[in-house]
Amino acid sequence: MCVRACPLEINIPGFIRSLREGRVSDAYAIIREKSCLPSICGRICSAPCEVACVLNEEAAPIGIRALERYAADFGKGKLAKKQRLLYGGKKVAVIGSGPAGLSAAADLAQRGYQVTVYEAFDKPGGILRYGIPEFRVPKKTLDHEIDQIKALGVTIETNFLIGHTATLEEIRQKFSAVLLATGAGIPKFMDLPGTSLGGVYYGEEFLMRVNRAKSTFFSRGVPKLPLGQKIAVIGSGNTALDCARTGVRLGRQVTLIFRRLEEDMYVAEEERQYAKEEGIQFASLVKPVEILPDSNNFVRGLKCVRMDFADRDGSGNWEVAELPDSEFNLDVDTVVIAVGHNPNSLVGEGTPSLKINDDGTMQVRDNDSMTSIPGVFSAGNVRTNAGPVVEAMASGKKAAEDIDRYLRG
Amino acid sequence: MPFKIINKLVLADQVKRIDIIAPNIARRINPGQFVSVAPEEDDEHIPLTVTAYDLIKGSIMLIFPEVGHTTKKLGAMHIHEEIYSVLGPLGRSARIGKEGLVVCIATGIRIAQILPICRAFRDKGNRIIGVIGAKTKRSLMLEPQMRLACDKLYIATNDGSYERRGQATDILGEVLEKNRIDCVYAIGSVEMMRAVCAMTGQKNIKTLVKLNPVMTDCMGMCGSCRVKVGGKMVLACIEGPEFNGFDVDFDDLEIRMNAYEENAQWGNLPSEHKTGNGGPKTLTKFLSGILKG
């Protein structure tokens, strides 16, 4: 069951058997067949396998994610080995070095293509580097995984922004195939009065500033942004939870505000428990209405309204609706909004022939990753809009297969 | 890609100019676009407008004031040192057309941003009246370049140490009365751009402004450069930084510009949280604890 649930189709019983017999490096090799970022998956995967585990009916499921993390951390070799098999294959460009781009690049390199990965930031990793905080994916682990991928023969070029440094057309002429894995980079703007006030951040900015703060051996990185003592985080996804847990680590008092029930949050049960243990206050069934300004145009408080399930029209459909006269003010001085993202629109700039859907995602044919331009493929969140890391990786692998099929004719 | 500094000049009080080798950027840059620069690894990325470029050398010219931590670090770098990261060109290029008589107005450090705009307008065959302002003569820069790029140049200094005493907007008022202007391009502080838009709005003259909001990554991922334009939130790094002056909500912009000022806020809170946690302070506390114990 678990193998079928895993988007990457890792042989889960196989590697657990190896682990039981004490052969950790064999277990690592089994995972590595399907997943090129095992130690990252072992940390942040949303673990659909554990939901599908057969033991769920009787007791708690097997902790597959933890086992994968163990196998990846202790089973891998100390040094990355150069294992490039073929030289002089066709050239493929991968735009974006996030989870989708990296797994596609690794897959293509293993199939013998010359892969170049382009990254806009100064370091590869995409969301894994600037979006996911250090305590979930240590930068050292990420660097190691990227070194492993580089050892496969993948070249990574940083400081390259598609559409600006070069257009898609120019890249297309240089390479046999192009994979767009630029992700969902633009925060969804929340329609809330007072979002321009000082002390209001979007989740991405908050995480990025904390992640890119310089930390040395002697000092922890201090993010360069004005931050109050009491933070309210709006949202119920992984980004919101990451923001909240980062806030706790900065020594702030954090309240997580979301409109649904705690059980309905889009995060793994384990993560939710961690967050509770760390002392984050959960305000479930609460909807923010307005951010209140003070005389300096900074956040003074957050006006919220309570929600509850209600059977409005008597049809038996229980919906979440606002409770009348339940407005209250939350005493906070910083608000972090993490309610989702939209795909980055910079890709299509200068390339009108690339067809883009109304919600900003790429148009693709059914069951194929090719976009409206032949030879240009797409993978990851730029196609699906919002999904967990493991789904982006699976989508990258699928795109690698499609590119392989396209180039073989 | 090495981004080597090949030239460095001090232009005015605390204002420096550096030329960087960046052939890929120089090839594609248009007037009005900017680059995102980080002098060393793990440093903050800052947006800087490209004032000029040289296709033969493959270099771009950046002019910046030394006010913050990152710009001070950038200003302390020497010729032949390499900058860690330069990403660009970013933003949309300026909408330069054949207008007729154009007024280009800028104050302070923003003169570096108006210069490429002036040159582009000139290349299109427009006549240009330049209006630049600065606090004192010492902080006025790029005057000879502006004289070459404009047909007529007016200069105002706030303390009267050079040419006229007063604000640049005062001169603009006179210019607008004497001539029939087709287009005004303004770059400056929020108050200055608001004043310009109020003046041109009365006479219904096309006004373009270039905004300088706070940017974190310059690629639209963070949302810190959001500004309200035409009643809608847009990202200045993607859709801007140039906007139609009458669409911009300047009150909103002022709040946004103020949002990152460290000193302006949290008056009612204890002062220690301004410094954040961790850092050298914790270390010294820790060390002094050891020494005492």
Whether A299 and A200 have beta carbons less than 8 Å apart is answered as yes
* Preferred mutation among A116, A121, A169, A174 to probe B, highest tally of B CBs within 10 A: A121
Q: From A300, which residue of chain B is nearest by alpha-carbon distance?
A: B266
List the Cα angle B31/B32/B33 in 5-degree steps. 95
Q: Does A195 touch chain B (CB under 8 A)?
A: yes
- Contact: A120, B87; criterion CB under 8 Å: yes
Q: Does B287 touch chain A (CB under 8 A)?
A: no
How many angstroms separate the most distant Cα atoms in chain A? 70
Residues of chain B with pLDDT under 70: 1, 261-293
Neighbours of A32 (CB within 10 A): 20
Residue of A166, A185, A201 lying closest to B220 (CB–CB): A185
Whether A100 and A396 have beta carbons less than 8 Å apart is answered as yes
Distance CA A323, CA A141 (A): 47
Residue whose C-alpha is closest to residue B213's, from B147, B261, B262: B261
Residue whose C-alpha is closest to residue B61's, from B72, B71, B49: B49
Sign of the Cα pseudo-torsion (A215, A219, A225, A230, in order): positive
Sign of the Cα pseudo-torsion (A272, A276, A279, A281, in order): positive
Whether A272 and A245 have beta carbons less than 8 Å apart is answered as no
- Contact: B226, A296; criterion CB under 8 Å: no
| Cα A305 → chain centroid | 30
- CA–CA min distance A404, chain B (Å): 30
Residue of B69, B222, B266 lying closest to A205 (CB–CB): B222
Whether A104 and A399 have beta carbons less than 8 Å apart is answered as yes
What does the H/E/C string look like for chain A? CHHHHCCCCCCHHHHHHHHHCCCHHHHHHHHHHHCCCHHHHHHHCCCHHHHHCHHHHCCCCCCHHHHHHHHHHHHCCCCCCCCCCCCCCCEEEEECCCHHHHHHHHHHHHCCCEEEEECCCCCCCCHHHHCCCCCCCCHHHHHHHHHHHHHCCCEEECCCCECCCECHHHHHHHCCEEEECCCCCEECCCCCCCCCCECEEEHHHHHHHHHCCCCCCCCCCCCCCCCCCEEEEECCCHHHHHHHHHHHHCCCEEEEECCCCHHHCCCCHHHHHHHHHCCCEEECCEEEEEEEECCCCEEEEEEEEEEEEECCCCCCCCEEEEEEEEEEEECCCEEEECCCEECCCCCCCCCCCCCECCCCCECCCCCCCECCCCCEEECCHHHHCCCCHHHHHHHHHHHHHHHHHHHHC
Question: Over its length of 409 residues, how does chain A's per-residue pLDDT go in tens digits?
Answer: 778 888 888 888 888 888 888 888 888 888 888 888 888 888 888 778 888 887 877 777 888 888 888 888 887 765 555 555 555 678 889 988 888 888 889 888 888 888 899 988 888 888 888 888 888 888 888 888 888 888 888 889 888 888 788 888 888 888 888 888 888 777 888 888 888 888 888 888 888 888 777 665 555 556 667 777 888 999 888 888 888 888 888 888 889 888 888 777 777 778 888 888 888 888 888 888 888 888 878 888 888 888 887 766 666 667 777 777 888 888 888 889 888 877 776 666 667 777 777 666 777 766 677 777 888 888 888 777 667 888 888 888 888 888 888 888 7
Neighbours of A185 (CB within 10 A): 26
List the Cα angle A254/A255/A260 in 5-degree steps. 150
What's domain A2-75's superfamily in CATH? Alpha-helical ferredoxin (1.10.1060.10)
Q: Dig out the tokens for A177 from the structure.
A: 């195939």
Q: Dig out the tokens for A392 from the structure.
A: 């982006």
Neighbours of A191 (CB within 10 A): 7
Q: pLDDT (tens digit, 9 = 90+) per residue, B178-188?
A: 888 888 999 98
- Contact: A250, B28; criterion CB under 8 Å: no
- Contact: A161, B219; criterion CB under 8 Å: yes
What 8-state DSSP symbol labels residue B239? Answer: H
Distance CA A117, CA A10 (A): 25
Neighbours of B115 (CB within 10 A): 27
Which helix (H) or strand (E) covers residue B191, if one does?
Answer: helix B190-203
- Contact: B235, A186; criterion CB under 8 Å: yes
Distance CA B91, CA B219 (A): 9
Angle of helix B190-203 relative to helix B250-258, nearest 10 degrees, comes to 170
Distance CA A361, CA A339 (A): 18
Distance CA A343, CA A361 (A): 6
Which pTM does this prediction carry? 0.83
Q: Dig out the tokens for A58 from the structure.
A: 């009787």
Whether B233 and A189 have beta carbons less than 8 Å apart is answered as yes
What 8-state DSSP symbol labels residue B54? Answer: E
CATH number for B212-260 (one of 3.30.310, 3.40.50, 3.10.50, 2.10.240): it is 2.10.240
- Residues 6+ positions from A248 with CB-CB distance below 8 Å: A254, A278, A279, A280
- CA–CA min distance B275, chain A (Å): 8
Q: From A159, which residue of chain B is nearest by alpha-carbon distance?
A: B87
- Contact: A196, B264; criterion CB under 8 Å: no
Whether A236 and A258 have beta carbons less than 8 Å apart is answered as yes
Distance CA B116, CA B106 (A): 12
Mean pLDDT of chain B: 82
What's the CATH fold of domain A91-186+341-408? FAD/NAD(P)-binding domain (3.50.50)
Distance CA A313, CA A28 (A): 55
What's domain B3-90's superfamily in CATH? Translation factors (2.40.30.10)
What's the CATH fold of domain B92-210? Rossmann fold (3.40.50)
* Preferred mutation among A196, A210, A216, A231 to probe B, highest tally of B CBs within 10 A: A196
* Confidence at residue B276, expressed as pLDDT on a 0 to 100 scale: 40
Neighboring chain A residues of B271 at a CB cutoff of 8 Å: none
* Confidence at residue A77, expressed as pLDDT on a 0 to 100 scale: 67
* Confidence at residue A68, expressed as pLDDT on a 0 to 100 scale: 87
Neighbours of A167 (CB within 10 A): 16
Q: From A251, which residue of chain B is nearest by alpha-carbon distance?
A: B277
Residue whose C-alpha is closest to residue A394's, from A384, A406, A409, A407: A384
The domains spanning A91-186+341-408 and A189-337 adopt the same CATH topology:
yes
Q: Does A175 touch chain B (CB under 8 A)?
A: no
| ipTM of the prediction greater than 0.90, yes or no | no
- The residue extents of the domains of chain B are 3-90, 92-210, 212-260
Residue of B267, B269, B279 lying closest to A222 (CB–CB): B279
Distance CA A83, CA A88 (A): 15
Neighboring chain B residues of A228 at a CB cutoff of 8 Å: 266, 269, 273
Whether A258 and A283 have beta carbons less than 8 Å apart is answered as yes
Strand ordering across the sheet containing A230-234:
A200-202, A334-337, A230-234, A253-257, A281-283
- The residue extents of the domains of chain A are 2-75, 91-186+341-408, 189-337
Q: From B257, which residue of chain A is nearest by alpha-carbon distance?
A: A198
**Could you give the 3-state DSSP secondary structure of residue B114?**
helix
* Preferred mutation among B221, B273, B285 to probe A, highest tally of A CBs within 10 A: B221
* Confidence at residue B277, expressed as pLDDT on a 0 to 100 scale: 41
Phi/psi region, residue A322 (left: phi>0; alpha: psi -120 to 50; beta: rest), is beta
Residue of B38, B89, B217 lying closest to A164 (CB–CB): B89
* Confidence at residue B268, expressed as pLDDT on a 0 to 100 scale: 34
Neighboring chain B residues of A221 at a CB cutoff of 8 Å: 278
Residue of B87, B220, B282 lying closest to A344 (CB–CB): B220
Distance CA A150, CA A114 (A): 12
* Preferred mutation among A222, A230, A333, A337 to probe B, highest tally of B CBs within 10 A: A222
- Contact: B221, A187; criterion CB under 8 Å: yes
Residue whose C-alpha is closest to residue B135's, from B254, B49, B13: B13
Q: How far is CA B243 from CA A266, B23, B118, in A?
A: 38, 28, 17
- Residues 6+ positions from B25 with CB-CB distance below 8 Å: A165, B35, B50, B53, B60, B86, B88, B89
Neighbours of A192 (CB within 10 A): 18
Please provide the CATH number assigned to the domain covering A189-337.
3.50.50.60
Distance CA A113, CA A104 (A): 11
- CA–CA min distance B211, chain A (Å): 15
- Contact: A196, B256; criterion CB under 8 Å: yes
- CA–CA min distance B271, chain A (Å): 11
Residue whose C-alpha is closest to residue B88's, from B55, B45, B121: B45
Which residue do the tokens 């629109």 mark?
A: A345
- Contact: A225, B220; criterion CB under 8 Å: no
Residue whose C-alpha is closest to residue A14's, from A33, A39, A42: A33
Q: Does B286 touch chain A (CB under 8 A)?
A: no
Distinct helix (H) and strand (E) counts, chain B = 9, 16
Which residue do the tokens 């690629």 mark?
A: B219
Cβ pairs A/B, distance under 8 A = 150
- CA–CA min distance A382, chain B (Å): 13
- Contact: A297, B222; criterion CB under 8 Å: no
What 8-state DSSP symbol labels residue B134? Answer: E
